[in-house]
Structures are given as C-alpha cells and as structure tokens.
Amino acid sequence: QVQLQESGPGLVKPSETLSLTCAVSGYSISSGYYWGWIRQPPGKGLEWIGSIYHSGSTYYNPSLKSRVTISVDTSKNQFSLKLSSVTAADTAVYYCARHTWDGYNNWFDPWGQGTLVTVSS
C-alpha cells in the first residue's frame, strides 16, 4: 500500500522560500510514475503546482513556474517542493500525490494527508 507524508515548516515569512518534503512508503519512486504537488488555499479549490518524473523531468504550473522547483531524491524515496518569494496568497494546505500521466489519462492517487503552510510575519 503506497503512502505519502508531507513534512516541513507550518509557518513561513513573506519573501522567504517555502520548503516541503514528501516521503513515500510502500513503493520505490525510482520504479516509475510522476509525483506531484497540489495546493488548496483555505476555503478554495485545488491548484496543481507541478509534477516530477522519477527520472527528474519536471512540469510546472505556468502561473507558478518562475518560483517553483520540484526535485526527487530516490535514495531517500522522497521528493521535495520549493516555492520562493512567498506572499500571503501562498497560504494553503499543500498535498503531495502519486501522479499517473500517460496517453489520454491523468490522475492523482494516492494523496498525502496534506500540511497547512501559513505565510505570515
């Protein structure tokens, strides 16, 4: 059973960099799949941030691309998110998920439980 768990600071100051890690258990990242980050501001909908292939290829939301870096560490079986120059608008619950992306198909499953990151001084 694949499980994902997000971790990282729950409070980040404006203009600083948000850093989160997603630890994967029950499946080896190096075996395949994309791995994605999705966020949800309080009371709002879901927003895809980006996804990384196990080999390291990345795809980012164009609206966040200039500030986002997603990386993978197969030795630790985890992948990470960095979002720079954060503002209050980046306050959200951040989810990681395994991302199946091939042909005409695309879906996220399973998801981590999510972690709330608040941007405030």
Binding site for other proteins (CB under 8 A): 36, 38, 45-48, 51, 59-62, 95, 99-100, 104-114
**Smallest separation (angstroms) from other proteins to the CB of 1:** 11
Which lies closer to other proteins via its Cβ, residue 31 or residue 105? Answer: 105
CA distance linking residue 111 with residue 16, whole number of Å: 26
**Smallest separation (angstroms) from other proteins to the CB of 108:** 7
Taking the CA of residue 61 as centre, how many other CA atoms within 13 Å lie in the half-sphere pointing to its CB?
A: 15
DSSP designation for 41: -
Which lies closer to other proteins via its Cβ, residue 80 or residue 115? Answer: 115
Tell the burial category of 87 from Cβ atoms under 10 Å away from its Cβ (0-12, 13-18, 19+).
exposed
**Smallest separation (angstroms) from other proteins to the CB of 23:** 15
Which lies closer to other proteins via its Cβ, residue 105 or residue 121? Answer: 105
Which lies closer to other proteins via its Cβ, residue 10 or residue 62? Answer: 62
Please check whether residue 48 is in contact with residue 40, taking contact to mean a CB–CB distance below 8 angstroms. Answer: no
Tokens representing residue 89 in the block: 């608008």
**Smallest separation (angstroms) from other proteins to the CB of 30:** 23
